[in-house]
Structure 1
């Protein structure tokens, strides 16, 4: 049989579905890399390079001001995310509800990322007052358009899959590539910044030019992957979607969310986890540079989660066929707690830190995917209770929670950098016992408490699982008078 005949023997619908899965998965590669560059390494850039031409006293004040502004801006924008989700839910185009926002959000956020990583094209060194004013405006717009991209990306899952198992496949694919993108940035950030710093300044010391090059590379990857989703996926129309009540205005959407108790409990558990996760991730660079005194070994903190993500993301939908996701979540949390305990007692030992990193990153995929799937399945739960199917609004909750966590992480990282003396030209040799104690308190002890609280909330309040979701879908089918939940294309 010829290659052409073999290819033709594969149903077109199967090939098309595979292509959409690949296109969808590729989207989160750049999106997760973009998020890490914005939520973690932008603060590193601010504390290390942005104010290098300003005297130390003024620079310390400006670092505090910028990190404080980021926290305030991102927390204020949190309340916009459900509004943005409502806009997406009410978008009607021939390209669907979600794809246009992949195209627009990917482009605008990429351009603005480059702007903030250039100190607004050097304005920071010309007029600091104008820089602060314009920075607030640019960062708000950047965050809004990134949110539109993020909300529309995860909001697509219930539009392309109605079955909980199929949703786990798309979620696994997005999480798989997201792990590569997010942690891949950690692997390449130091080499990229060092290479381009040397290229433009002749010194391997991190510089403005190095960080600008890093932002440009991240932005280009962001645009490419967003447009892959925009042009490579297609929404399916289901009976549950077509027969649901209109999404309504923001007040009606918020009222529907408030009645969805399972959504709210999952959200609280995930928020506690996310705050701990990003806070610890945000200070990994400082751990290697100032505590271990091994900044050149920092890529380990990126390699480990990439490897664990490559293993665990594909494993989730396979294991979930036999093991309930609730159990996978609990085991994952137990491993994370063990990792934090190792960080706390032996943060100055590289071999122990490596073991702790493995325990910290290994279960992250299972924890995040369980939360995402519970949130996704709560759409039908909410539809059964209220009659409204708010896909994007419901799934805007997770990006909103990530944004809260990212904002708190920015504040924690900025606080630690200043309080522990980890700014400017400081080195590991300058660290005192008090500095290390301050670092460990906010990097490990406080996040550990959040992880324990997250587990307790999940155990005692979250009830929605695969079996419960299947029952809800059956009830909805009967209620809407349809035997099939998904129409053929």
Structure 2
């Protein structure tokens, strides 16, 4: 391991050309998100659809599955920091991140294929096998996700570089999500006609997505090069986890706020296909809405670096939150007008794209804050709070979505005509009313408690540079500036 900041680990020596290194890290890291977000979306957004519309589980079974999803996701989320410590303590010739990225990707792909396999079971045995496969899926997701995003702060300290890497990563992720969401209904319908079974159609889609994920993860493994390490890495013991996380107050405020935001957003996306099938009354319009979602997210992410430079992150966060709130209000009032629903989608998903990227940047900057405050650098433990956010919010959203399907009558309905006005109102309040409240509370919490703006972050990085210079016996003017690659 190197003993001074700015150098690469054994996973690959940084290029002597800083521009080449930046290009490799930006695209190598970004492209890896394309397939992995397809896998994550297939389960987070469509597992309930598969279980209720394809497997056709009963209300009783759905109730048990909903409880299982909530409990297992919360339990797994709590375990994320443990995996973060394991990654931070790893020392191999390939570095500490890449071995776990590879192991996680392969096992995650296998679990995804198993998830959508036809086991030929029902009743209690179906639940037992489902729980086992889902547990494997969650563990594999944890291994890959924490090591993957834990690498982001190690690719550069410069905020502009991080925003560039993060923007490309989120664009690639959005492309993957866009392709899956838009193509799922027509592709599974076409495959069902060829194969004669909806289960076989979903299995083929899951297998294809798993292969795509592995292919793009290989790009990340081969292309990326770590640029930042601690001057003197400190091993993280399990008993240190609490102090590393609790001591980083800025990380905790980001986590709390983003759990609120992502819970609301995930409720909306989880219920999307049901909305167009049973409330709007035309399931084919879901693909149109998904296309609006994908294009809007990609455009928003491409615009983020320019918006951040022009207005600063705090103002961008306010504007993005306002767009989400207005989008939800317009969506609720849209009725059966697809034009108005499309306008609502543009507002909602543009704001969401900005906020999710800001979340990644806030967590990345919390790495330096934790190093500055606590005297130790823990990329993976810090970034373990990102999958915690997704899993905790997914758990809460799954509970809300499952309960909504039961209370609104959607789970037992066969068409839109089976849904009463009261049931439709319950559904719309859950899909649009509850999320808008959570989005507003999320902004308020960050506005009052998060302090790592651009100026404060620059001060912290400068102080870390001085400390590292003293620790290595170098003068500060001999150190590469934050984010630059040492020759």
What's the TM-score once normalised by structure 2's chain length?
0.91
Contact persistence 2:115–2:130 (CA under 8 A): yes
Residue aligned with 1:363, SS:
helix
Match of 2:3 in 1: none
How far apart in 2 are the matches of 1:230 and 1:344?
A: 44
Q: Is the 8 A contact 2:18 2:485 kept in 1?
A: no
Does residue 109 of structure 1 match 2:113?
no
CA distance in 2, matches of 1:384, 1:180: 36
Work out whether 1:313 is the aligned partner of 2:277: no
What is the DSSP-based 3-state SS (H/G/I as helix, E as strand, rest coil) of the residue aligned with 1:93?
coil
Select between 156-165 and 324-333 the one with higher mean Cα deviation. Answer: 156-165
The answer as to whether partners of 1:380 and 1:389 remain within 8 angstroms in 2 is yes
Deviations 1:90-112 (A, max 9, x none): 11111111111221111111111
**Which of 142, 150, 157 in structure 2 is aligned with 1:155?**
150
Matches of 2:431 and 2:406 in 1, distance apart? 14
**1:436 shift after superposition:** 0.4
**1-side partners of 2:26 and 2:161: how far apart?**
11
Q: Give the counterpart of 1:270 among 249, 258, 267.
A: 258
Contact residue 327 and residue 348 of structure 2 kept, 8 A: yes
| Residues 291 and 347, structure 1, Cα contact 8 Å, conserved in 2 | no
State the Cα deviation string for residues 220-272 of structure 1 (Å, max 9, x = none): 11211222212221212x3xx33245042122132121011111111111111
Distance in 2, Cα, partners of 1:83 & 1:347: 47
CA spacing shift, 1:228–1:295, aligned 2, 3 Å: same
Q: Would the aligned equivalents of 2:21 and 2:225 in 1 still touch at CA under 8 Å?
A: no
Q: How do 1:474-485 residues align onto structure 2 when only pairs under 5 Å count?
A: 474-480=462-468, 481=470, 483=476, 484=479, 485=482
Match of 1:96 in 2: 95
- Which of residues 427, 436, 452 in structure 1 aligns to 2:424? 436
Shift in CA distance, 247/302, structure 1 to aligned 2, threshold 3 Å: farther
Which position in structure 2 is the counterpart of 1:372?
A: 360
Q: CA deviation at 1:134?
A: 2.6
Q: In the alignment, does 2:355 pair up with 1:381?
A: no
Residue number in structure 1 paired with 2:42: 37
- Distance of 1:196 and 1:109 partners within structure 2: 24
Name the counterpart of 1:77. Answer: 76
- Determine whether 1:249 maps to 2:237: yes
Q: Which residues in structure 2 correspond to 1:387-398 (within 5 Å)?
A: 387-398=375-386
Q: Could you tell me which residue of structure 2 aligns to residue 218 of structure 1?
A: 209
State the partner residue of 1:6: none
- Deviation sequence 1:138-175 (CA, Å, 0-9, x none): 21121111112111221111111111111111111111
1:185-200 equivalence runs, <5 A: 185-200=180-195
Q: Could you say what secondary structure the match of 1:162 adopts? A: coil
Residue 29 of structure 1: CA displacement? 0.8
Aligned positions of 1:445-464 closer than 5 A: 445-464=433-452
> Would you say the 8 A contact 1:88–1:392 is kept in 2?
yes
Secondary structure of 2:94's aligned partner: coil
Matched, 1:488 2:486: yes
Counterparts of 1:285 and 1:318, CA distance in 2: 33
The whole-number CA distance in structure 2 between the counterparts of 1:383 and 1:12 is 28
Q: Does 1:341 align with 2:329?
A: yes
Structure 1 partner of 2:6: none
What's the offset of the Cα at 1:195? 1.1
Match of 1:24 among 13, 18, 29: 29
Of residues 451, 455, 458, the one that matches 1:467 is 455
Is the Cα–Cα contact under 8 Å of residues 377 and 469 in structure 1 kept in the other structure?
Answer: yes
Taking the aligned partners of 1:425 and 1:192, their CA distance within structure 2 comes to 24
Runs of 5+ consecutive residues of structure 1 not aligned to the other structure:
1-9, 53-58
User: Which deviates more, 141-150 or 476-485?
Assistant: 476-485
Counterparts of 2:210 and 2:403 in 1: how far apart (Å)?
27
The answer to whether structure 1 residue 290 and structure 2 residue 295 are counterparts is no
Q: Does 2:389 align with 1:401?
A: yes
* Structure 1 residue ranges (4+ consecutive) displaced by more than 6 angstroms after TM superposition: none
Separation (CA, whole Å) in 2 of partners of 1:230 and 1:487: 19
Residues 346 and 318 of structure 1: is their aligned pair in 2 closer, same or farther, counting only changes over 3 Å? closer
TM-score (norm 1): 0.91
Of residues 143, 160, 164, the one that matches 2:159 is 164
Task: Give the number of aligned pairs.
Answer: 463
Equivalent residue of 1:360, what SS? helix
Match of 2:54 in 1: 49
Kept after mapping to 1: 8 A contact 2:257/2:446: yes
Partner of 2:7: none
Structure 2 gap segments, 5+ residues each:
1-14
Matched, 1:227 2:212: no
